[in-house]
Amino acid sequence: MWIIAINPISGQGRGATMGTKVAGYCATKGIDYEIVTGVSAQSLAIALKEKIARDKVLIEGIIAVGGDGLAHLILQSAVPANIPVAFIPGGTGNDLVRTLGWSLDEITAYLQRVFETKPVNVDLGLVDGEWFAAVLSSGFDAVVNERANVLKWPKGPMRYNAAIALELPKFKPAHYEIELDDRTISTQAMLIAIGNGSSYGGGMKVCPNANLRDGLFDVMVLKPISIPEFIRVFPKVYSGKHVHHPEVEIYRSKRVRIEADTVAYADGERIGQLPISAECVTGALSTWMP
């Protein structure tokens, strides 16, 4: 039996549309499936956890239909149970799907691969006991996430851009103590991004060379720059070319500990106040890649 976990409200209804397509595909192919859903990603995750507790041995895999927030929540139940998960892009950002290399629009080839081939193992991050798939970050983008989460308008990706406009004029860099495998760094920084995957925020390639199967994080440190310079450089994050800026440094490490007077987010979900410790866990997730 396959579980189709659908967050119908994700992506302004995109989750419901994609969920219908997945269920239709399964019905056409005669695949045994059960739909698990909820009024929110959180309620869905609770229902799924209860389902796994009851029927773990019967579940062949989970197809998560929603955004990165739903993916993050499902990891917490699926990984300890060693259940493979496929991630269908039904959210706003869909950065995990991007990182895995799948199309954001055409899902037929994806579903064919899921049902006709065995999954592969990819790395996950583990931050203070919580799994994450894409990027753990602290600094300016965490502050922006905090603001975006309370904005009622605009909807969709523009909400993040609105939060940037509101927070940038008053943002101050923080002092960070960063412990890596081979060094300790003490520095002022605007942003720290710990990439298991390459992108966040709907395609921002903050750690463009991060690899899901190399056993290491890419750690991006943005040192203080002026607001005009930030505005000039910011668009380059969509191509990953920001890494060539002289105030950007990239490190690679299996373990990272960061300490500062600020908060951290992972996969767009609030982790909490620093300090935090993260480890790249090799092959922790079973999933599918093109």
| φ, ψ of residue 105 in degrees (nearest 5) | -120, -45
Q: Is the pLDDT of residue 144 over 90?
A: no
Greater confidence (280 vs 203) lies with 280
**Residue 268's CB: how many other CB atoms inside 10 A?**
26
Average pLDDT over residues 184-196: 96
For the stretch 204-255, pLDDT in tens is 999 999 999 999 999 999 999 998 998 899 889 999 999 999 999 999 999 9
Which of helix, strand or coil describes residue 194? strand
- Percent with pLDDT over 70 in the chain: 99
2-118, CATH topology level:
Rossmann fold (3.40.50)
Q: Are 109 and 272 in contact (CB under 8 A)?
A: no
Q: What is the mean pLDDT of the chain?
A: 91
Task: Give the Cα separation of 100 and 288 in Å (integer).
Answer: 8
Q: Is the pLDDT of residue 271 over 90?
A: yes
* Every domain range in the chain assigned CATH 3.40.50.10330: 2-118
Q: What is the pLDDT of residue 157?
A: 65
CATH class, 132-287 region: mainly beta
Q: Is the pLDDT of residue 114 over 90?
A: yes
Task: Give the Cα separation of 267 and 204 in Å (integer).
Answer: 12
Kindly report the CA angle at 257 between 208 and 187, in degrees rounded to 5?
A: 75
Which pair of tokens denotes residue 117? Answer: 């081939």
* Residue 156 binned pLDDT confidence (cut-offs 50, 70, 90): low
**Residue 289's CB: how many other CB atoms inside 10 A?**
14
* Every domain range in the chain assigned CATH 2.60.200.40: 132-287
Q: Is the pLDDT of residue 112 over 90?
A: yes
**Residue 135 CB contacts under 8 Å (≥ 6 apart), including other chains:** 95, 193, 194, 195, 196, 197, 199, 200, 206, 207, 266, 267
Write the DSSP symbol of residue 127: E
Look at 31-45, 76-90, 96-110, 173-187 and tell me which has the smallest mean pLDDT: 31-45
Written as one letter, the residue type at 141 is D
* Residue 45 binned pLDDT confidence (cut-offs 50, 70, 90): confident
Q: What is the pLDDT of residue 246?
A: 96
